[in-house]
Amino acid sequence: MGQTIGVNIAKRAYDVEISQQFDGYSAVRIYVGTDDEGNAVVYEAGDTTGRTLEIKNDFGTQQMAEDILADIQGYQYQPLVANSALLDPAAEMGDGVTVNGVYSGVFVRATTFGRLMASDISAPTDQEIAHEYSVDTAATDRAFSRFVASTRSAISLTSSEIRAEVARATTAEEELSARITINADSITSEVTRATEAESSLSSRITQNADNISATVTEVGKKLDQTRNNSSFGWNLTSTSFSLNANNSQNIFYADRNGIKIRGNAEVTGKITATSGFIGGSSGFTINATAIYNGKSSLTANSAGVYIGTNGIALGALSADNIHSKFQVDSAGNLYAQSGTFAGSVYAKNIKSGGSTYGYFDGSGITDGSINGGYKLETGSVTGGVDYWNQPTGSLGYSAVAYGNTDFTGTLDQVGINASDISTLSSEIATIQAGYFNSISTSSILFGDYSLYVASDGVVHGSYVG
Q: Which residues are at the interface with another protein (CB under 8 A)?
A: 1-12, 22, 25, 28, 30, 53-61, 64, 67-68, 71-72, 75, 77, 88-96, 98, 100, 103-105, 107-117, 123-127, 139, 158-161
Q: Looking at beta carbons only, is 115 or 348 nearer to another protein?
A: 115
Q: Looking at beta carbons only, is 103 or 407 nearer to another protein?
A: 103
H-type alpha helices, 73-228: 139-148
Q: Looking at beta carbons only, is 54 or 175 nearer to another protein?
A: 54
Q: Looking at beta carbons only, is 24 or 403 nearer to another protein?
A: 24
Cα gap 388→404, rounded to integer Å: 12
Buried residues in 291-328 as b, exposed as e (16+ CB within 10 A): ebbbbeebbbeeebbbbbeebbbbbbbbeeeebbbbbb
Closest separation in Å from C-beta 255 to another protein: 36
Q: Looking at beta carbons only, is 110 or 303 nearer to another protein?
A: 110
Number of DSSP helices (H) and strands (E) in the chain, helices first = 5, 33
Q: Looking at beta carbons only, is 59 or 341 nearer to another protein?
A: 59
Q: How many CB atoms lie within 10 A of CB 118?
A: 19
Closest separation in Å from C-beta 23 to another protein: 12
Closest separation in Å from C-beta 179 to another protein: 14
Q: How many CB atoms lie within 10 A of CB 384?
A: 12
Residue 112 sits at φ, ψ, to 5 deg, of -100, 115
Closest separation in Å from C-beta 225 to another protein: 31
Q: Looking at beta carbons only, is 1 or 342 nearer to another protein?
A: 1
> 36: burial class by Cβ within 10 Å (0-12, 13-18, 19+)?
exposed
Q: Looking at beta carbons only, is 76 or 239 nearer to another protein?
A: 76
Contact 52, 27 (CB under 8 A): yes
Q: Looking at beta carbons only, is 155 or 197 nearer to another protein?
A: 155
Closest separation in Å from C-beta 72 to another protein: 4
Closest separation in Å from C-beta 101 to another protein: 8
Q: Provide the 8-state DSSP code for 129.
A: G
Q: How many CB atoms lie within 10 A of CB 232?
A: 15
Contact 310, 318 (CB under 8 A): no
Q: How many CB atoms lie within 10 A of CB 385?
A: 15
Closest separation in Å from C-beta 31 to another protein: 10
Q: Looking at beta carbons only, is 25 or 306 nearer to another protein?
A: 25
Q: Looking at beta carbons only, is 107 or 436 nearer to another protein?
A: 107
Residue type, 9: I
Residues in Cβ contact with 402 at an 8 Å cutoff, skipping those fewer than 6 apart: 384, 385, 388
Strand partners, 225: none
Closest separation in Å from C-beta 123 to another protein: 7
Q: Looking at beta carbons only, is 47 or 92 nearer to another protein?
A: 92
First CA to last CA distance, the chain: 172
Closest separation in Å from C-beta 8 to another protein: 6
Closest separation in Å from C-beta 188 to another protein: 14
Question: For the chain, percent helix, then strand, then coil, each to nearest 5?
Answer: 10, 45, 50
Closest separation in Å from C-beta 217 to another protein: 23
Q: Is the dihedral of CA 158, 161, 164, 165 positive or negative?
A: negative
DSSP per-residue string spanning 404-447: SS---S----TT--HHHHHTTHHHHHHHHHHH-SEE-SSEEEET
Cα gap 26→65, rounded to integer Å: 11
Closest separation in Å from C-beta 93 to another protein: 5
